[in-house]
Amino acid sequence: MADVSKMRSFFLVAPREEAFAAALASGADAIVLDLCDSGEASRSGAAALIRRPRPPGLRLYARIAPLDSAAIDADLASVVTAGADGIFLPQACGGASVQHVSAKLAVQEAECGRADGATRIVALATQTPAAIFALFSYAGASARLEALAFDVEPLRRALGAEPHSAAANDPASPFSVARALLLLGAAAAGVAAIDAPFAAIGDAEGLVAQCRAARRDGFGAKLALDATQIPAINQTFGEAPPAL
């Protein structure tokens, strides 16, 4: 299994043939199949893609339904049986969420004959206001936990903030606070921190600037929404960290 600390780019894509083919050709270190629809077609499509032969070192994840969704068990059964390397857990709210989904994963692994602990967890850890107050609690939650991922858009909607608000870059904004606390929570838990995706796909300079800021502050990788973003992400996060 590849070391997640060496992963630079996580490409979030729909579980469709053409999207998956583009992701494979992009050079991303990991592909995250998005089961946000949580329908049977989405699950079966993701499972078929996960079962395919893949380039050495490429990791496959699935973004599943939240813990409070009726779809989560079906999502887990599908992707664990197919052999996914891990899951992205939306709306995670601290170590308790990780422990809960870890127990579910253990059951699914036992039922399909996979080794206990084979399926790893990345917690999308800043998507709700309550989640910000639980960022201290990931340390020791589960050996499956390998990263905390920052995602500002669901938090923006929860707060009723304006889209693309300039406050997102204000050190005193709730989004900057959430970002800083996620970095500290990941460091305290001894896991990687993954930066949020850059939504302005055509803004190459903006992407590079955001990558450099994230790398400077301690993020080890970044989510991507488009294949054109992968080279800049890989280049920036592949650079050696500054000497201490």
Q: What's the pLDDT at 20?
A: 94
Q: What's the pLDDT at 166?
A: 53
Q: What's the pLDDT at 240?
A: 64
C-alpha dist (Å) from residue 162 to 20, 103, 156, 159, 200: 32, 38, 7, 9, 16
Query: What are the two backbone dihedrals, phi and then psi, of residue 123, each rounded to the nearest 5 degrees?
Result: -95, 120
Q: Predicted confidence band at 73 (pLDDT cuts at 50, 70, 90)? A: very high
Asked if residue 2 has pLDDT above 70, the reply is no
Q: Predicted confidence band at 169 (pLDDT cuts at 50, 70, 90)? A: low
Q: What is the pLDDT of residues 26-56, one digit of tens each?
A: 999 999 999 976 578 888 889 999 999 989 9
Cβ 183 vs Cβ 217: under 8 Å = yes
Would you list the DSSP string of 53-108? ---TT-EEEEE---TTSTTHHHHHHHHHHHT-SEEEETT--SHHHHHHHHHHHHHH
**Pick from 204, 205, 212, 225: nearest CA to 153:** 225
Q: What is the pLDDT of residues 136-155, one digit of tens each?
A: 999 999 999 999 999 988 99
Q: What's the pLDDT at 38?
A: 59
Distance CA 93, CA 192 (A): 17
Three-state DSSP at 192 gives strand
Enclosing H/E stretch for 217: helix 204-217
Q: Predicted confidence band at 117 (pLDDT cuts at 50, 70, 90)? A: very high
- Beta bridge mates, 87: 62, 121
Q: What is the DSSP letter of 52?
A: S
Would you list the DSSP string of 120-185? EEEEETTSSHHHHTTGGG-TTS-TTEEEEE--HHHHHHHHTPPTT-GGGG-TTSHHHHHHHHHHHH
Kindly tell me the burial class for residue 178, based on how many C-beta atoms sit within 10 Å of its own C-beta (0-12, 13-18, 19 or more): buried
Asked if residue 244 has pLDDT above 70, the reply is no
- Beta bridge mates, 89: 123
Q: Which two tokens stand for residue 241?
A: 């960290």
Average pLDDT over the chain, rounded to an integer = 91
